[in-house]
Amino acid sequence: MITTGSLQQPKMQPTVVTSKPRKPGLATGTLDETESFIRIFFNDRAEPPAGSSYGEMPPDGWDAYQRFLLEGATGEESDPLAFDEPVDVSQIIDNTLVPEIIDFDQEAIRQQARDYETSS
């Protein structure tokens, strides 16, 4: 059981389900079988990935995601994937502005939230 506040929920094993499987093994699976898929989407907001600073987009994560998409591609005209080979994610991901973007007074924001009064 997982306890969330005062609620208890049964612990469930995640599965990945698609309406039209493209390749055997991609539609559903055990936690072990879908671990790489889950790792692609796992986002720990408290701690950035190793080698990244808070707020940065890790290029290796985007590269893993595009490769995951390519593995499931059909190559058919109706396939919504707009590319058929990996792209250079370093040409897309730019983390140079992140330090400037997150340079703000966090305590001032927290105080503003504490002082906020609802209208209800």
Is residue 74 one of the residues assigned to a domain?
yes
| DSSP symbol at 84 | S
pLDDT digits (tens, 9 = 90+) for 87-117: 999 998 899 999 998 898 989 999 999 999 9
Whether 120 maps to a domain, the answer reads no
- Render pLDDT for 34-76 as a digit per residue (tens, 0 to 9): 776 666 666 555 677 777 788 888 888 889 889 988 888 887 8
- Domain assignment present for residue 84? The answer is yes
Averaged pLDDT of the chain:
75
* Average pLDDT for 24-33: 59
Closest CA to 47 of 36, 35, 56: 56
Tell me what pLDDT residue 17 has.
Answer: 47
Q: Alpha-carbon distance 38 to 32, whole Å?
A: 10
Q: What is the pTM of this model?
A: 0.48
Domain limits for position 41: 2-115
Specify the number of domains making up the chain: 1
